[in-house]
Amino acid sequence: MKVRNLLLVATGLLCAAGMSAQDYAPAAWRFSEMQVGSAESIFIREMGSTMWNCKAPFRYADDGQGGVGLACNVGGDLVGPNTDSYANMSEADKAVFEEFYQSAQIVNGGTENLLCLVGKNATESYPGGVANTKSLPAATLFWLSGTEMPLASNYRLTIDYRVIAKEDGNISLTVATSAYDGIDQGTDLGDGYREFDLPVLSAFNAYWTRGVLDFTVKDNTDPTYQELPIAIKMWLGGSMYDNSVILFRSIKLEKIDAIDMNNVPGQALDCDFEDNPTGGVSGVFTNGLIAFGNNGVISVIDAAEPIEVYNAAGVLVSRVNEVSTLVNIPVNQKGLFIVKSGSDSRKVVL
C-alpha cells in the first residue's frame, strides 16, 4: 500500500466514506454512469464565452438538467472579438470550442468511468506525446446544478480529483448561485459566494485527493435563483493545466442537516492509495489501467507492466517496455485498438 503523508491536511487524515444523503448532482456530473468516449454531451454550447466569465445570471439548461459551460479569454486559437454571447461568437471560435468539447473524454478507470481533460501542452510534460492542441489554456468551467435542489438548505460538495502535472498549482473554485451570490448569505460563513483552491502537487501524480466544501444556499423567490441554484466556477490553473492530465470522479452535491466547520471554506483530504484493493476498505480509492486516444496518440496511465497495442485484426502495432505514470504512444493508423498491460486490457478508438 502506498500512503501519502502530505501538507494538505493534518497527519493521519484520510478520505472517509461520505455520510448517506441524497445526491442532487445532475446527470452531467455523474461520469461513472456515462459511456466511454467523448464527453461533449455534458457541455452547454450556449454558455460559450471568449471572456473570463460566462454571462450571469445563467439562464441556460432550461430543461432543468444542468451541465457545464466553458469560458476562455487567452487568445491563441481564438480569433474573433471577445464576447460572452455564444450567438455573437465568431464561427472560427465556435469551431475551437467544439474541438475542446469533443476532446474531453469519459475513460474507463478500471473500477468506474472517469472524466479526463488533457492540457494543451502535454507533449512538453511527457516527451513522445502529441499535444491536445484544442484544450484552451486557462479554461474556466462552470458546473451548473439542476432545478430540483431545495433552497434554504445546507449542502456538501465533494470533488475527487487526480492531476498528473509537471508543476504545482491549484484548481480554483468559486461556489455561488446563478447570479454569483446567494451562498452563505445571512450566516456567519461568508458574504455571498465561496472561494476555495484544490491543491495540485506534481510530486504526487499517482494519488487522488478529495475536496470537500459545506455551504448554505440562500432562500429566494426570484425565478433566476430557483432555475439554477448552484454554479461552480472552476478555473483550471493556467500553465499548470496546460501541462497536465486531470481526472475527476463523479462530483457529488449532497443535502446535509448541518454545516461541518471543518469544511468551511473547504478542505483537501489526503487519500489512502491501495495498489490492489481487495474490497471492504472504507475510503480507499484507486483506478486501474486507463487508456484513451487523442490526435493520433494513445495515452496510457498507470501501466505496471510493458504496454502492447493491437489493431482490430489482432496485429501488434506498438510495444513500450519502459513504463511510467503516463505513457504516450503515437499510432499512425485509425480504428479500434486493444491496449494491454499485464492482465489488464482496454479498447481505444482513434
The answer to whether residues 158 and 263 belong to one domain is yes
Q: What pLDDT score does 136 carry?
A: 64
Q: What pLDDT score does 314 carry?
A: 95
The answer to whether residues 79 and 195 belong to one domain is yes
pLDDT digits (tens, 9 = 90+) for 249-268: 999 999 999 999 999 999 99
Tally of structural domains, the chain = 2
CB 272 within 8 A of CB 14: yes
Calculate the dihedral angle through the C-alpha atoms of 327, 15, 192, 45, rounding to the nearest 10 degrees.
Answer: 30
CB 284 within 8 A of CB 309: no
Positions of the chain with pLDDT lower than 50, given as ranges? 1-19, 123-132, 273-283
Q: Enumerate residues 6+ apart whose C-beta is below 8 A from 324.
A: none
The answer to whether residues 216 and 330 belong to one domain is no
253/26 Cα distance (integer angstroms)? 9
As given in the structure block, the three cell numbers for residue 228 are 439554477
Is residue 49 assigned to a domain? yes
The answer to whether residues 162 and 265 belong to one domain is yes
18/32 Cα distance (integer angstroms)? 17
Is residue 208 assigned to a domain? yes
305/321 Cα distance (integer angstroms)? 8
Tell me the pTM.
0.87
Q: What pLDDT score does 52 carry?
A: 82
Q: What pLDDT score does 10 carry?
A: 36
Is residue 330 assigned to a domain? yes
* Look-up of cell digits 458546473: 143
The answer to whether residues 197 and 317 belong to one domain is no
Longest dimension (CA), the chain: 65
- DSSP class of 121: T
Question: Residue 266 belongs to a domain with what CATH number?
Answer: 2.60.120.260
Q: What pLDDT score does 125 carry?
A: 43
Is residue 4 assigned to a domain? no
Print the domain residue range for 237: 27-286
pLDDT digits (tens, 9 = 90+) for 167-224: 899 999 999 887 778 899 888 898 889 999 999 998 888 889 999 999 998 877 666 5
252 membership: H or E segment, kind and range:
strand 252-256
